[in-house]
Chain A
Amino acid sequence: MIRTIYQAAAGMMAQFARQLTLSTNLANIDTPGYRQQVSALRDFQQLYLLRLGQGQASPVGPLSTAVRWDDPRIDLRQGALVETGRPLDLAIAGNAFFAVQTPDGIEYTRDGRFQLDAQRRLVTADGYPVLGEQGPLVVPPGDIWVEPDGTVLVGDTVVGRLLLIEFPAEATFTAAPGNRYRTDAQGIPSATAGVSQGFVEAANVDLTQTLTDMLAATRSYQLAARTLQLADETLRLAVNSVGRVSQG
C-alpha cells in the first residue's frame, strides 16, 4: 500500500517536471535559435516479486515501483526562417551550428543575431566572437555580404568563411547561456548547411503540440493524485476499520 503511495507520488513529480519543461519551451517561443526540450518518462528500477508459501518461493514477475523522468533531450529539428532584413542576422538551413569562442571553450549556437564589437569582430548578441575557419572574423567598414556557403565579403574582399559545424546524430548537448550549447562530441565542418543573410531562425517550439502536451500532463498529474488519495483511503480503512472490535 505504501508502495502505491510512492508510485503515485513519483508520477506526480514526473508530470510536474514535464510541465516545467513545457512552460520553458513556451517562454522561449520567440527566442531565435531556441531548440525545444523534449522530456521522456520511463520505468524506474524494477523489482522482482516472489511469492512465498509452503516453504518455497515461486516467481511472480517484475514490478516497477515508480516512473522516472529523464533529463530532457534537445530537439534539433529545423525552425522556420524569418526575414528581418538586418545584414548581420544569419540563419542556418541544415544541420550545422555556428561555433562561438567563449571563456568556457567553444560553444555552438543556431542563434545568428550577430553584431560587431568595438574591435570590429563578428560577435554574438552577448559579445563572444563567432569563429570563422581561420578564427574570429574581423569585418572592415563597408557593406557586408554573406554567401550561402558562409563566405563573408565586404565589397569584393573576402573576409573569411564562417565555421559551420555538424555533429553526428548521437551527439548530446547541454544548454549554456546565450542560446548556446556545449557538447563533447567531435564535429566536422558541414558541407551541406547553408547560411541565409537577413534572416533569423525562429524557435522550433510547436505551440499546438506544447499546449496539448500541457493538457495531457495535467490530466496525468490529476490521475496520479487521485491514485494517491485512493491508496490513502484504502490504508485508512485498513488501519481504522479492519479488525475493529464491535463496541456493541
Chain B
Amino acid sequence: MEALYFPAVSGIRAQQLRLDTIAHNLANLETDGFKAVRAEFAAIPPQQYLIARAGEAVLGPVHVGAGVELIGTTWQPTLGPLEVTGDPYDFVLGGPDLFVISQLPDGTTAYRRSGRLSVDGAGRLVFADGSLLQPPISLPPGTQLDHIAPDGTVWVRSADGTTTEAVGQLTLARFPNPQGLLAAGNGRFLATEAAGQPEVGAPGRGTWPPILSGVREHSNVDLADQMTQLIMAQRAYTANLRALQTIDELVEIATRLRQ
C-alpha cells in the first residue's frame, strides 16, 4: 500500500530538501568564503511489481519507477567575487581545492578556505575561531603584519615602520576530492577517507597557485540563481503534491467500489 504513495512522497521530500539547501545558501549570501551548496538527487531504479491478478486479467510482472532519493550535497567549487580590502590579514587561496591548515584547541587538524587571520595575545597568527595556523607563525614583539607575498611568505614591519622581515611561510593543503571533506561549521573542514590524502605544498610553485594578499573572497552564492531555483523547487513541490492527491483519489475510488 505504501509503495503506491512512495514515488510522489519521495518527490515531495526531495523538493523539501532542495528548499532547505536554497535557504542555507541564501542565509550565507554574505558569509565570506562560503560555497553555494547543491542537493544531489538520483532516480531510484524501478522495482519489479507483481501488480495484481484478477481472474483472467493479469498485470505484471512490470517495472514501475520508485521515485527519487538524495545521494548527497556538493558545493560549488568556484571562487566567489573578490574584494580588494588592502588589509594584510585578508588573503585568498588561488584554487577551490586549496586549504590552509589550522589546529583546533583540542588538537585536531582542521582545513579551511577562509583566509581571515588575526593575532592572539602571544603574537601567534590565528583564525577567527581562535584555532592556530599550522605550521605556526608568530609575529615578533613590537612588529605588525605587513603583507603576505604571493609565495606565502609572511612579512612583518617593525614598530617604527622602517624595516620589514620575513617570519615564516604559509603552507597549503590540497585534497584530490575536496567534496569529500566533512564541513564542521565555522569554516572548518575535517579530512575524511573519501577526500583522499592531502598533499602539502607552498603557494606559487609548480602547480600551486599563488596567494592573493589584501583581498577578501565573498560568498559565491548567486542570488538570482537561488531565487530561480526557489521558484522551480516550489513548482515541483506543488506538482508532486498534486501527484500524491491523484494517487490518493484512485485509492479512494477503489475503496468505494463496493457501496
Q: Which residues of A contact B (CB under 8 A)?
A: 2-3, 5-7, 9-10, 12-17, 19-31, 34, 37, 44, 65-66, 68-72, 84-88, 111, 113, 115-120, 125-127, 140-143, 174-179, 207, 210-211, 214, 218, 221-222, 225, 228-229
What residues of A have a CB within 8 angstroms of the CB of B59 in the complex? 10, 13-14, 17, 68-69
Instruction: Return A197 CB to nearest CB of chain B, in Å.
Output: 13
Contact B243 A13 (CB under 8 A): no
Q: Given contacts A26-B11, A115-B74, A142-B207, are A6 and B236 in contact (CB under 8 A)?
A: no
Contact B246 A28 (CB under 8 A): no
What residues of A have a CB within 8 angstroms of the CB of B167 in the complex? none
Residue from B71, B74, B207 whose CB has the most chain A CB atoms within 10 Å = B71
Across the two chains, which residue of chain A brings its CB closest to B18? A30
Instruction: Return A11 CB to nearest CB of chain B, in Å.
Output: 8
Q: How far is the CA of A5 from the CA of B38 in the complex (A)?
A: 50
A-B contact sample (18 more), CB < 8 A, given A23-B11, A84-B38, A125-B71: A24-B65, A26-B7, A26-B240, A28-B11, A28-B67, A31-B68, A34-B43, A37-B65, A66-B56, A68-B58, A72-B64, A111-B42, A118-B195, A119-B176, A120-B176, A175-B46, A177-B42, A214-B242
Contact A17 B51 (CB under 8 A): yes
Q: How far is the CA of A211 from the CA of B43 in the complex (A)?
A: 19
Task: Tell which of B18, B66, B176, B253 touches A225, judged by Cβ atoms closer than 8 Å.
Answer: B253
- Give the size of the chain B interface in residues (CB under 8 angstroms): 69
What residues of A have a CB within 8 angstroms of the CB of B179 in the complex? 115
Task: Tell which of A23, A111, A141, A143 touches B240, judged by Cβ atoms closer than 8 Å.
Answer: A23
What residues of B have a CB within 8 angstroms of the CB of A17 in the complex? 49, 51, 59, 62, 64
Q: How far is the CA of A127 from the CA of B179 in the complex (A)?
A: 11
Q: Given contacts A9-B54, A125-B42, A176-B45, are A207 and B257 in contact (CB under 8 A)?
A: no
Residue B44, interface by CB 8 Å: yes
Q: Which of B95-120 contact A (CB under 8 A)?
A: 95, 97
Q: Which of B120-155 contact A (CB under 8 A)?
A: none
Q: Given contacts A6-B56, A86-B76, A218-B250, are A125 and B63 in contact (CB under 8 A)?
A: no
